[in-house]
Structure 1
Amino acid sequence: MTAVTRNDYVVRAIRPADWERVKQLRLDALRDPVAHLAFLETYENAASKPDAFWQDRAVGSGAGSTAAHQFVAEAPDGTWGGSVTVLIEEPGTRDWAGNPVERRQGHAVGVYVRPEHRGNGLIEELFAAGLAWAWQRDAERVRLFVHEDNARAQSVYRRIGFAPSGLVLPFAKDETANELEFVLARPSWTADG
């Protein structure tokens, strides 16, 4: 799936050969000032992973994968402005927190837009690609978790159409804080393709 945004970015699924760029974008995301609220992983943990981890990640969430897709927005100069990954969760399984999954759904993770690429609609374009991919896989909804103190992210997710479901979980890195589940139901117009 390829889409050209109104800003001349190309939004596409990563490819196995992109593994070094996948690694660099993730490390950059983990250096963001709000990374402690936005990601469960630390920079130190991610930086210590061997190249084989990143190569496997690029294969497992790249073009051709049916379980996950990482979408990137490539600027006209070739730099990656941001990324969103959508995982498909199957009913009868358990999610990352050990809770039962009751429906086929997408789970958006690893959402990041570089500061110099923010404020131009890029996040909406990344989500449009991720959501379209989830709907094509018959997901009933797409969900994500956002830290209760990450107001900027919550605002963006609401603008895209996500809303709090009411599910609140302890934040894995600090159980005195919470993560809120936001969901977006599959639009009825996607039922016919």
Structure 2
Amino acid sequence: MSETRHVIRAVRGDEWAKVKELRIAALHDPAAPVAFLESVEEAQGQPDEFWQGRAGGASHGRASRQFVAEAADGTWDGSVTVLVEEGGTTDFFDQGVERTQGHLVGVFVRTEQRGTGLTEALFASALEWAWGLEEPVVERVRLFVHEDNARAAAFYRRYGFEPSGTVVPMPGNTGAKELEYVFQRPTGV
């Protein structure tokens, strides 16, 4: 495994153009149809205000945080976003949220950076942020993986996420299934 030097950090609100560029790169990935709920055309059709709001919302506050892997030359080579689902609310799948939890979305690392430890570094920063939130604390972090995305599922299991047994239909494709994986808050954190 060759380690590449990157800084893992939260996006800043004014970095919307880079947020957009990385998302469109992710949507061009061959795994995008089973990894993301958006098409390249949908993303490219969004106005600048959409991307400005996305970057701004993921740069501060408690609701969400987007982490990026920035190379020395300023290139963004990967990203993950944590959405906070507060207990007593309804989630993306219209299911009741029983406990406050994080929800990882938008996991992407450029092909040439896969296997270098970058995804692990992004996940470590995302979980550290989630565990650091004050009351109500995040009790667990979850993510969903398409039933046909074996590569991603294998990484999530290696990292420590465990299948919960929850299966939901993939939004927009009720014939496909999304599998929930969870990472429980470590004791003493």
Query: For the superposition of Structure 1 and Structure 2, which TM-score range results when normalised by the shorter chain?
Result: over 0.9
**Shift of residue 126, structure 1, vs aligned partner:** 0.1
- Which residue of structure 2 lines up, in the alignment, with residue 53 of structure 1? 50
The separation in 1 between residues aligned to 2:30 and 2:45, in whole angstroms, is 20
Partner deviation per Cα, 1:70-116 (whole Å, 9 max, x = no partner): 00000122111100000110011000010000001000000000001
8 Å CA contact 1:12, 1:71 repeated in 2: yes
SS in 2 for 1:188: coil
- Which residue of structure 2 lines up, in the alignment, with residue 39 of structure 1? 36
The separation in 1 between residues aligned to 2:124 and 2:172, in whole angstroms, is 29
The separation in 2 between residues aligned to 1:107 and 1:95, in whole angstroms, is 10
The separation in 2 between residues aligned to 1:174 and 1:19, in whole angstroms, is 29
The separation in 2 between residues aligned to 1:41 and 1:136, in whole angstroms, is 30
TM-score when scaled to structure 2? Answer: 0.95
The separation in 1 between residues aligned to 2:32 and 2:5, in whole angstroms, is 27
Whether 2:18 is the aligned partner of 1:21: answer yes
- Which residue of structure 1 lines up, in the alignment, with residue 152 of structure 2? 153
The separation in 1 between residues aligned to 2:153 and 2:172, in whole angstroms, is 19
Cα RMSD, aligned residues only: 0.9
The separation in 1 between residues aligned to 2:146 and 2:156, in whole angstroms, is 12
SS in 2 for 1:144: strand
**Shift of residue 164, structure 1, vs aligned partner:** 0.4
SS in 1 for 2:25: helix
Selected match of 2:106 from 106, 110, 114? 110
Whether 2:152 is the aligned partner of 1:130: answer no
Whether 2:183 is the aligned partner of 1:184: answer yes
The separation in 1 between residues aligned to 2:78 and 2:142, in whole angstroms, is 19
**Shift of residue 172, structure 1, vs aligned partner:** 1.3
**Shift of residue 65, structure 1, vs aligned partner:** 2.1
TM-score when scaled to structure 1? Answer: 0.93
Report the residue type matching 2:122 in the other structure.
L
Q: How many residues align?
A: 184
The separation in 1 between residues aligned to 2:108 and 2:4, in whole angstroms, is 17
- Which residue of structure 1 lines up, in the alignment, with residue 7 of structure 2? 10
SS in 2 for 1:128: helix
Identical-pair percentage: 57
**Shift of residue 8, structure 1, vs aligned partner:** 2.1
